[in-house]
Amino acid sequence: MKTWIPDNRNFAYLTWKQVDALPREETLLILPTAAIEQHGHHLPLATDTLISNLLLGYALALLPKELPVYALPPICYGKSNEHIGFPGTLSVSASTFMAVVHDIGASVAASGFKRLVLYNTHGGNTSLDDVMCRDLRAEFGLHTFYLSGSGGARFEDISPQERAYGFHAGEYETALLLHGTPELVHPEHYTVNYIAQIDQPHALLPENGPATFAWLTRDIAPSGVMGDPNPATAENGARWVKQSAEKVAAALTEMFHFTHGLEP
């Protein structure tokens, strides 16, 4: 899998003696959670994992060299049952996903580390990561953090419709891969589907509302795309990677210095 994680920030490249020399209280470990799932006719199955590697790699390159912050190998398989029915989607159950995160957290704690970030680039994992952050904190005393892929960056040049309902394989994801892995993007196969329209408001929303409905991709999008990839450009992708990396780096720095609940 192509990655932009700097070698000196890759936890798996260390020997156990090098790991043993790390400062246990201060070291911040990052566990990326992503997916291998359909992304329409134009993007690869690995889109979420590639985006994780891309954004996190750029962010880690921005951190001061002296900060002991390391990326663990990503969990590539996520809870992707919203995309079941599309060939190539490889999904695990919620219980399996949480068991894997639990066991990695247990290993981190057993090695004496105190800080763990769940860094997520797949929407289907979000609620599970939130649960696991709390559970790992309660069971192992780990200081756990959740961080979304873009770190909260807002891309003002995305249309309001795409911002609201460009859930999957739309302009944002396509632009990032046009920048990072253009050879894996197939613009001749772009398709457009939206789960809702902002000019037709309803009380019942697909996400992020007081009343929501459960959806499967095949209910909405025969191609598997939820959004419009047509406006995507490599230039926007490069700019959005930079903006996201700056936000992610700032969040990681704050997590590294976080002291709430860590006082003697």
195-207 pLDDT, tens digit each: 999 999 888 989 8
Average pLDDT of the chain to the nearest whole number: 96
Phi, psi of 28 (to 5 degrees): -110, 120
Is residue 2 included in any domain, yes or no? no
Judge whether 86 and 38 are in contact, CB under 8 Å. yes
Please report whether residue 73 resides in a domain: yes
pLDDT category of residue 156 using cuts at 50, 70 and 90: confident
In a domain, 170, yes or no: yes
Considering only 87-96, 178-187, 201-210, which range has the smallest mean pLDDT? 201-210
Domain tally, the chain: 1
Q: Is residue 264 assigned to a domain?
A: no
Distance, first Cα to last Cα, the chain? 42
Give the separation between CA 200 and CA 187, rounded to whole angstroms.
29
Residue 119 lies in a domain: yes
In the chain, pLDDT over 90 holds for what percent of residues?
93
Q: Does residue 1 lie within any of the structural domains?
A: no
What does the pLDDT read at residue 240?
98
Residue 212 has pLDDT above 90, yes or no: yes
Within a domain: residue 263? no
* Range of the structural domain that residue 125 is part of: 7-257
**Residue 264, pLDDT above cutoff 60:** no
3-state secondary structure of 223: coil
CATH code of the domain in which 200 resides: 3.40.50.10310
Average pLDDT over residues 68-86: 98
The pLDDT assigned to 260 comes to: 72
Q: Is the pTM of this model over 0.85?
A: yes
Strand 28-33 relative to strand 69-71: parallel, antiparallel, unpaired?
parallel
Distance separating alpha carbons of residues 43 and 47, to the nearest angstrom = 7
Quote the pLDDT of residue 262: 57
Decide if 60 is inside a domain: yes
Query: In the numeric block, which tokens belong to residue 240?
Result: 């959005």
At 112 the pLDDT is 97
Confidence of residue 259 (pLDDT cuts 50, 70, 90): confident
